[in-house]
Amino acid sequence: MSNTVMTKKGKIADLRSRDEIKAERRKERTGVYLVVPGLLLLLLFFAVPVMVLLSMSLYARPEGASIGEFVPALEFRNYATVLGSYWPDLLRSFGFALIATVLALLIGYPMAYLVAVRLRQHGLLQGILLVLLIAPFFSSFILRTQAWKQILADEGFVAQTMKFLAILPADGHLTATPFAVVAGLTYNFLPFMVLPIYANLGRLDTRLLEASGDLYAGPMTSFFRVTLPLSAPGVFAGTLLTFIPAAGDYVNAALLGNNRNTTMIGQVIDSRFFKVIDYPGAAALSFVLMLSILVLVTIYIRRFGTKELM
């Protein structure tokens, strides 16, 4: 935009010389060439599988066929069937993912702020905390979730204490509840929230905060009018990185959930595929999940997306 100017006639004039424009074009072309390998990779490992998924979701099972036998068809009823049975699980997945994302933001933002801004003068401490933030990645996702099962177990310290304080009824339990599933999701995806916000706040110019202080803004006002808006791209990235995988997650629901009100769509896809051997049903659900995330994320980007991220 800086190279153009509005003329009197209302047209946009380019102020750059011919050579400059040529050089610009050449740069663009090099950019295109560099993108080619990535595009090919995407085509091979994303577009083709999506096509296969789509075609599979329309397969039909012939009458009397053996289990696992399907023939190519245009069985759009597959979608109606699985959605009819499993729409509550789809909604629940997005609900859980949303709650987990909000919780992760509420927990993660202060963490990121502490490490990135408050401890800026204390390099060592900052480094240690940063390592601690990333440390969970050093052990297996399943193992960590399994550990939560032990932590929240009926005979465990947490449940016993809560019962003692009468927060939890005597016959209540923590595992096998929606609470445990959302807690698991929040915990497991927290680093995905913290790291982008941390990366963003790391660049925060603290002089701006001084300036806002000089203008008689209290700490709260400074935070909401300066820090938060400036870190919006980090928050935006964090929420996406948390919400998308959380919506499709099934490990937390499988390990920490029950069979009544915690089933997530990932579990259903898993069981359609491996238990019922209903490949078309599993494919249809996967496709619906992908499409729903796509739509939700598109809306989100349109509504809150910032230029800086593009």
Partner 1 sequence: MSRQRAINEQRGRLSQAIGQAQASRRGVLAGAAGLALAGLLGACGTKGASSGPAQALTPGIDISDTEELVRWANWTLYLDYDDKAKHYPTLEQFKKSSGLEVRYVEDIDSNDSYYGKVQSQLASGQDIGQDLMVLTDWMTERVIRLGYVQELEHANIPNLKNLLPSLNDVRFDPGRTKSLTWQSGYTGLVWNKEAFPKGLRNVEDLWAPELKGRVTLLDEMRDTIPILLLDQGIDITGQWGQDEFSGAIEIVEKNIQNGQIRQVKGNSYKQDLISGDALAGIAYSGDITQLNYEEGNKWEFIMPERGGLIWSDNFMVPFGATHKKNAEKLMDFYYQPDVAAEVAAYVNYLCPVVGAQEEMEKIDPDLVNDPLIFPTEEFLNKASTERELSVEEENDFQNQFQEVIGV
Nearer to partner 1, 212 or 280 (CB): 280
Q: How far is the CB of 234 from partner 1 (least distance, A)?
A: 8
Nearer to partner 1, 101 or 200 (CB): 200
Q: How far is the CB of 224 from partner 1 (least distance, A)?
A: 23
* Angstrom distance (rounded) from CA 59 to CA 279: 8
| Residue where the block lists tokens 């497991």 | 188
Nearer to partner 1, 12 or 208 (CB): 208
Q: How far is the CB of 4 from partner 1 (least distance, A)?
A: 24
Where residue 64 falls (left for φ over 0; alpha for ψ -120 to 50; beta otherwise) is left
Amino acid code (one letter) for 170: A
Nearer to partner 1, 149 or 213 (CB): 149
* Angstrom distance (rounded) from CA 13 to CA 258: 65
How many helical (H) and strand (E) elements, i.e. helices and strands, does the chain have?
14, 2
Q: Which of 79, 81, 53 is nearest to 283 (CA)?
A: 53
Nearer to partner 1, 58 or 90 (CB): 58
Amino acid code (one letter) for 130: L
Q: How far is the CB of 70 from partner 1 (least distance, A)?
A: 5
Q: Which of 97, 81, 114 is nearest to 246 (CA)?
A: 97
Nearer to partner 1, 102 or 297 (CB): 297
Cα dihedral 245/248/252/255 (nearest 10): -150
What single-letter DSSP state applies at residue 227?
Answer: I
Q: Which of 265, 276, 268 is nearest to 70 (CA)?
A: 276
- Other C-beta atoms closer than 10 Å to the C-beta of 52 total 11
Q: How far is the CB of 164 from partner 1 (least distance, A)?
A: 17
Q: How far is the CB of 310 from partner 1 (least distance, A)?
A: 6
Nearer to partner 1, 50 or 228 (CB): 50
Q: 48-56 vs 279-304: helix axis angle to the nearest 10?
A: 130
DSSP 39-63: HHHHIIIIIHHHHHHHHHTT-B--T
Q: How far is the CB of 155 from partner 1 (least distance, A)?
A: 4
